[in-house]
Amino acid sequence: MLQAIIGGLTLGSVYALIALGFNLTYTTTRTLNFAQGDFVSVGAFVGLGTVGVLTAALGADAVGYVWFYALAAVAAALAMGVLGLPLYLAAIRPFAGKPGMSWVVSTIGFGIVLQSAALSLWGLGARMLAPPFGDEVFRVGEVGFRSQELVVMALAFAILGGFDIAMRRTALGRCMRAVALNRDAAALMGIDVPRVMALAFLASSALAGLSGVLVAPILSASLFMGVIIALKGFSAAIIGGLTNPRGCMAGGLLIGLVESLTALWSAQWREIMVFLLVILVLAMAPNGMFGRKLVEKV
Amino acid sequence: MRTETATRPAPFRPAILRAVPALGVGAALVALALTLTNDFHLYVAFMAGVYYLCASGMNVLAGYAGQKSLGQAGLFAAGAYTVALLTTRLEVSPVLALAAAPIVAAGVGVLIALPSLRVKGPSLALVTLAFGLVVEKLVTEWTDLFGGAQGVYGIAPLEFQGEPFALRHWVVLVIVLAVATHLLLGHLLNGRFGRALLALQSDEIAAECAGISVYRYKILAFVVAAALCGLGGALVAQQNQYFNSDFVTFHLSVFILLLVLLGGAGNLYGPIAGAAILTATEVFLAQWPSVQHFIYGSMLLFALYLMPTGVAGTIARVLPRKAVAEPVVTGAPLTLSRTTDDPAGGPLLEMRDIAKAFGGVVTADKVGLRLHAHRVHALIGPNGAGKSTLINILTGVIPADSGSIRLAGEDITRASAHSRADRGIARTFQNLRLFGAMTVLDNVLVGAHARIGATGREAEAVAKAAAVLEFVGLAEHAQALAGSLPYGLQRRVELARALAGDPVLLLLDEPAAGLNPRETAELGQLIKRIGRLGVAVLMVEHDMGLVMGISDEIVVLDRGIVIAEGTPREIQTNPRVIEAYLGREEAPADDEADGKEEERAC
């Protein structure tokens, strides 16, 4: 039971990272990246590639591997973040601020291009990325957990906390929140709105890439793994309240918990439970659990 | 998705004549299909037809009603498994099973519509997406019933002269179904139904106040999309005589949405273009499997950038448009068909003890109002007095906390906004709420929604709308897009839309806001003429010149309380009114009384 909770929180914190990415782009541009899943998968493979190159060049030992893994995470975040810019330019900028949801199509298109490029590079197969601190199971009392779970959770929470502070305390964070609240007013105050939007996509894609590296040792990495992870991140963002970053984080943890607790009873039903939960929450709270209700003035 | 091109054929041509081109194309396609001998070509034609069926339903939902669903695969599965289980488990005849499939799918469509009605945009996408995934997992995991990845074998196909349908028969059947669907949807979407959906996509509140039940129409759109998608699934299952969970994927849902967006959402011909192009692309790219996905993805990435209204919308723009101003025939001068006299023994509308508070802010405190037919009433008061709130309570946009409203003796306190519009309460809005992408004529026809009735007396409605446009002086702009008109004219379009519903009570929320003095004077004359038609008019207005000039009766509201009632002369000299506007002490005289919140001396 406790084990399931820890597993759930681990996955949940990864969903929360992705949900935070959705929150960033939605509040600043009113658009979402439907290719986030492909960024997760490709991020994982960039991480795998980095570890592979480093191991081949420098030889592997246990202490070195921890650094390889850290470098791989940084590389994945950087590579995906940089890829977020062409995504923004090609798929988002033509449609941001316009009615309709053309960006759904264009981001899906970008994802398909990215995925097919990655497939030609890495192929269809699934691969394992070894966890940085080995595979052994720690025991505390009766509960055993894997080192990777702790790594993921600690890192994810650190990043979530860091973002929370950055959004409130730094100039850039204030710019982002200003654009989120009122784009026109922000532009009139001299904020370079397109730059903030591009940065939001950069950050969101970087978060997706990092998530890929973080989950790769837990699930086996394949180029198809991202879709369902990103969908759960999306669910987390929506049930938590797409406009509320802390809500997104809470949503992620909730989804992770529901998923792993359902798995205790039946592994096949966990996706069904997660998405039924989503439908149920939205039927009752259309703006998510912590979303602000938008009152339309008539 | 808004379409800029309104593809409405002339409404007066008889339905049979309008069907001729489609029937001709259908017959030509059937003839062409019968010459095909290559099974691969036939299969491609069959799938194109199935895609068209799915897409045309999706177009009603996504293109017209604006509900971008990402769960159509679930409905496709509902249809497919209906025929699969009915013919294999219960040995129902294949024809009956095929007929049952869209019905079952429509039922499932209602199921998904219910949670979807409360959410918009990305949340709607997620609810529908989650539904699609739940179905996908259910049919994969519940192997006892659905067979999972093993699938259901031996689905009974349709038969022709005792033999199972050959591929050629399937193609002919699909063409017949597609033409029938196209004609039926064309008939519905070019009339009242299509207008109602476009209106609710553009502005739900305005649509509701024009007498459209947004709730019912959204469910209807979901049902149409579900039934057609289910039919598509059933055809695929019967043609293959096999169906398994691999068909039901998120990609199928995305694909069905793409058919519509790429083809042209909100355009009757969009699904045809979408189905033709995406099927052709799939076949063409299959020659180079390595780059297939790459090109496919790039297409999606750039298609809507290059063609924002889809392929069909782009073609419509390139083609020379038919004579733009098909002149709207003006009939007799405007008369309103409802009896518009006060009921015996009371005013037309009586509002009693209406109270409303938002949190701690009381915007209506035991307000009573009595409005009479043939009279122009004005509701004035400083900003924040609760005037707009009162209009919103009267029209049912906001529920009152307590109190009662009776229209012509009937209690309407709990009635929905659209049913109040149906009973003859029409309104305009403080901030314009026009259906900008629709023509002026269509805006006015939406206003007449409830009066047209389900059977569609379309010609009569158009004549009536023309009379309304003539009355407000907009006849020459009938075919212009409402959003393209200058602001002053847009205000008048809103007024025309409200008048088109044959109102007994017309509520105008700051009708002169933003108008220049000449336009304001014209508006005043217009409102007086409306009063003379027999309508009870209530306007909220800050322009005191207008209010004093045309009102028969004025009600003054301050902080949710009625502080004075009477003729313009009485109001101008009422000390409480002067105090509410100017404060108790001598304040700088401001004859304009422009409604700015004044410093209060107390």
Report the amino acid identity of residue B219.
Answer: I
Specify whether the CB–CB gap between B443 and B311 falls below 8 A.
Answer: no
Q: In the 8-state DSSP scheme, what is residue B564?
A: E
Measured distance CA(B58)–CA(B185) in Å, rounded: 12
In this predicted structure, what is the pLDDT of residue B333?
66
On whether residue A172 sits in a domain, the answer given is yes
Tokens found for residue A239: 């049930």
From residue B38, how far is each of A250, B34, B159, B235, B516 by CA, in Å?
Answer: 57, 11, 21, 20, 70
Considering only residues B233 and A119, tell me which one the structure prediction assigns the higher pLDDT: B233
> Could you tell me if B305 lies within 8 Å of chain A, comparing CB atoms?
yes
> Could you tell me if B141 lies within 8 Å of chain A, comparing CB atoms?
yes
Return the number of other C-beta atoms located less than 10 Å from residue B91's C-beta: 9
- Which chain A residues are closer than 8 Å to B122 by Cβ? 26, 32, 238, 242
**Mean pLDDT, rounded, for B342-357:** 83
Return the number of other C-beta atoms located less than 10 Å from residue A205's C-beta: 31
Residue in B with minimal Cα distance to A112: B297
Across the interface, whether the CB atoms of A102 and B118 are under 8 A apart is answered no
Identify the CA nearest to A201 among candidates A46, A39, A14: A39
Sign of the C-alpha dihedral computed for residues B268, B271, B272 and B273 taken in this order: positive
Q: In the 8-state DSSP scheme, what is residue B245?
A: G
Find how far residue B98's CA is from the centre of its chain: 31
Spatial CB neighbours of B4, under 8 Å, sequence gap ≥ 6: B309, B313, B317, B437, B481
Residue B6 has pLDDT above 50, yes or no: no
pLDDT tens per residue across span B27-59: 888 888 888 888 888 999 999 999 999 999 999
Considering only residues B395 and A242, tell me which one the structure prediction assigns the higher pLDDT: B395
Which residue of A272, A280, A289 to mutate against B (max B Cβ within 10 Å)?
Answer: A272
On whether residue A269 sits in a domain, the answer given is no
Question: Which range marks the domain in which residue A175 is found?
Answer: 21-222
Specify whether the CB–CB gap between B209 and B395 falls below 8 A.
Answer: yes
**Mean pLDDT, rounded, for B505-525:** 91
Q: How many domains does chain A have?
A: 1
On whether residue A292 sits in a domain, the answer given is no
Return the number of other C-beta atoms located less than 10 Å from residue A69's C-beta: 25
In this predicted structure, what is the pLDDT of residue B147?
85
Across the interface, whether the CB atoms of B305 and A94 are under 8 A apart is answered yes
Q: For all residues of chain B together, what is the average pLDDT? A: 85
pLDDT tens per residue across span B175-210: 999 999 999 999 889 888 999 999 999 889 999 999
Residue in A with minimal Cα distance to B139: A272
From residue B313, how far is each of A97, B2, B221, B269 by CA, in Å?
Answer: 21, 11, 21, 9
A98 backbone φψ class: left, alpha, beta (φ>0; ψ -120 to 50): beta
Tokens found for residue A5: 């909770």
Report the amino acid identity of residue B211.
Answer: G
- Which chain A residues are closer than 8 Å to B297 by Cβ? 108-116
Burial B291-326 (b: 16+ CB within 10 A, else e): ebbbbbbbbbbbbbbebbbbbbbbbbeeeeeeeeee
Tokens found for residue B169: 């028969």
Tokens found for residue B542: 């800050």
Considering only residues B489 and B19, tell me which one the structure prediction assigns the higher pLDDT: B489
**How many CA atoms does the CB half-sphere of B203 hold within 13 Å?**
21
Spatial CB neighbours of B38, under 8 Å, sequence gap ≥ 6: none
Measured distance CA(B482)–CA(B500) in Å, rounded: 15
In this predicted structure, what is the pLDDT of residue B456?
56
Measured distance CA(A127)–CA(B242) in Å, rounded: 34
Pairing of strands B425-427, B505-509: parallel
Residue A254 has pLDDT above 50, yes or no: yes
On whether residue A267 sits in a domain, the answer given is no
In this predicted structure, what is the pLDDT of residue B329?
56
In this predicted structure, what is the pLDDT of residue B382?
85
Angle at B123 between CA B121 and CA B124, to 5 degrees: 65
Q: Which residue has the tokens 């409102």?
A: B527
Confidence of residue A41 (pLDDT cuts 50, 70, 90): very high
**Mean pLDDT, rounded, for A276-285:** 85
Q: Is B403 exposed, middle or buried (0-12, 13-18, 19+ CB in 10 A)?
A: middle
Percent of chain A clearing pLDDT 90 (strictly above): 24
Measured distance CA(B418)–CA(B427) in Å, rounded: 12
Phi and psi at residue B55, in whole multiples of 5°? -70, -35
Considering only residues B334 and B506, tell me which one the structure prediction assigns the higher pLDDT: B506
**Mean pLDDT, rounded, for A200-225:** 88
Considering only residues B555 and B580, tell me which one the structure prediction assigns the higher pLDDT: B555
Residue B529 has pLDDT above 50, yes or no: yes
Q: Which of A99, A106, A296 sits opposite B304 (nearest CB)?
A: A106
Across the interface, whether the CB atoms of A104 and B250 are under 8 A apart is answered no
Tokens found for residue B496: 């025309």
Q: What share of chain B is helix, strand, coil (3-state, %, to 5)?
A: 55, 10, 30
In this predicted structure, what is the pLDDT of residue B590?
47
In this predicted structure, what is the pLDDT of residue B27?
87
Find how far residue A41's CA is from the centre of its chain: 11
In this predicted structure, what is the pLDDT of residue B326?
52
Confidence of residue B601 (pLDDT cuts 50, 70, 90): very low
On whether residue A274 sits in a domain, the answer given is no
Confidence of residue B172 (pLDDT cuts 50, 70, 90): very high
On whether residue A76 sits in a domain, the answer given is yes
**Mean pLDDT, rounded, for B290-294:** 78
Measured distance CA(A276)–CA(A284) in Å, rounded: 12
Measured distance CA(B238)–CA(B440) in Å, rounded: 47
In this predicted structure, what is the pLDDT of residue B9?
43
Measured distance CA(B211)–CA(B58) in Å, rounded: 25
CB pairs under 8 A between A and B: 139
pLDDT tens per residue across span B51-65: 999 999 999 999 999
Q: Which residue has the tokens 């209530």?
A: B538
Instruction: Return the bridge partners of B439, or none.
Output: B481
Residue in B with minimal Cα distance to A31: B122
Q: What's the N-to-C CA distance of chain B in angstroms?
A: 52
On whether residue A232 sits in a domain, the answer given is no
On whether residue A252 sits in a domain, the answer given is no
> Could you tell me if B483 lies within 8 Å of chain A, comparing CB atoms?
no
In this predicted structure, what is the pLDDT of residue B340?
63
Report the amino acid identity of residue A260.
Answer: S
Specify whether the CB–CB gap between B346 and B407 falls below 8 A.
Answer: no
Specify whether the CB–CB gap between B444 and B211 falls below 8 A.
Answer: no
Q: Is A125 exposed, middle or buried (0-12, 13-18, 19+ CB in 10 A)?
A: exposed
Identify the CA nearest to B196 among candidates B177, B216, B166: B216
Spatial CB neighbours of A232, under 8 Å, sequence gap ≥ 6: A15, A18, A255, A259, A274
Residue A295 has pLDDT above 70, yes or no: no
Q: Where are the alpha helices (DSSP H) in chain A?
A: 2-29, 36-58, 62-87, 102-122, 147-169, 171-181, 183-188, 193-215, 226-240, 245-265, 270-284
Considering only residues B416 and A268, tell me which one the structure prediction assigns the higher pLDDT: B416
Percent of chain B clearing pLDDT 90 (strictly above): 34
> Could you tell me if B473 lies within 8 Å of chain A, comparing CB atoms?
no
Q: Is the ipTM of this complex over 0.90?
A: no
Find how far residue A155's CA is from the centre of its chain: 13
Confidence of residue A58 (pLDDT cuts 50, 70, 90): confident
